[in-house]
Amino acid sequence: MKISAFAAATGFVLCVGPALSADLFAPTRVFMSAQVWNGAYVGLQGGHVWASTPLGLYGVAPPNIAYDDIDPKGLTYGVHAGYDWQFSGLVLGVLADAELSSASRKNSGVTVGGIFIPARSEVNLAWQGSLRARVGYVVVSDLLVYATGGMAFSNLEVVTTFPAPGSNSETMNGWTVGAGVAYSLTRSFFASAEYRYTGFGKFERPVAAPFIARTDLESQSVRVGLSYRFGG
């Protein structure tokens, strides 16, 4: 009887043991190899932008009236959409975003020939957007680090009151580069944090004949986002 019981127990362990072992380790293997970052996604984002716009006013007489730097800064908030392809630890993707911006700055005067003249000047960034590529690496299954770069767009408005009231706005095209991290909260939702530098080049438009405003626009920004991945 004892020998029969021992044989039955041994047979049970030999048959069931491998199955239990597979069940214990299978979740880890499945989770680590899952395509967590593959597919289309949409989301919301918000952050802070600060820009540099050294503004000069040029004309016939005097030929150069120089304003001080006007550095607008403010909040941004918008939406984004993208698609990722995951190849083991490598993630390649494309994404686009569009944001409204509260970035603005006013100056109270201008210096002409060393003399300060009270005259308001203002720079506003009403909105911005980008179309970018993204290259990332999966550090662990739920954490992605990435670099990004591509085209950028922004609306720049310049307002002056000297030598006469005038304003002009322009949609500017430029380039942007940055880096970020993304963390998978669930199979469908992930959070992200990102830094970007953007350059738009020169802005030169008439504001009050015969004067023109000239500036170079560049900006830095940080933002966080929450995204939903379809099919997660």
Residue 197, pLDDT score: 97
Q: What angle do CA 12, 13, 18 make, to 5 degrees?
A: 115
Residue 12, pLDDT score: 39
Report the first-to-last Cα separation within the chain, whole angstroms: 55
> Token digits for 11?
């047979």
**Fold topology of 35-229:** Porin (2.40.160)
Q: Are 136 and 157 in contact (CB under 8 A)?
A: no
Give the residue extent of every domain in the chain: 1-33, 35-229
How far is residue 3's CA from residue 15's CA, in Å, rounded to a whole number?
18
Chain centroid to Cα 210, Å, comes to 39
Residue 6, pLDDT score: 39
Question: At which residue do the structure tokens 């996604």 appear?
Answer: 41
Q: Are 200 and 154 in contact (CB under 8 A)?
A: yes
DSSP 44-110: EEEEEEEEEEEEEEE-SSSSEEEEEEE--EEEEEEEEEEEEEEETTEEEEEEEEEEEE--EEEEEEE
**Is 113 in a helix, a strand, or coil?**
coil
Residue 67, pLDDT score: 61
The pTM of the full predicted model, rounded to 2 decimals, is 0.77
> Token digits for 83?
């698609």
pLDDT one-digit tens code per residue, 95-142: 999 999 999 988 777 766 677 778 777 888 999 999 999 999 999 989
How far is residue 111's CA from residue 19's CA, in Å, rounded to a whole number?
83
How far is residue 162's CA from residue 43's CA, in Å, rounded to a whole number?
43
- Which residues of the chain fall below pLDDT 70? 1-34, 55, 57-69, 111-113, 163-164, 207-210, 232
Q: 10, exposed or middle or buried, with CB in 10 Å at 0-12, 13-18, 19+? A: exposed
DSSP label at 37? T
> Token digits for 94?
């494309």
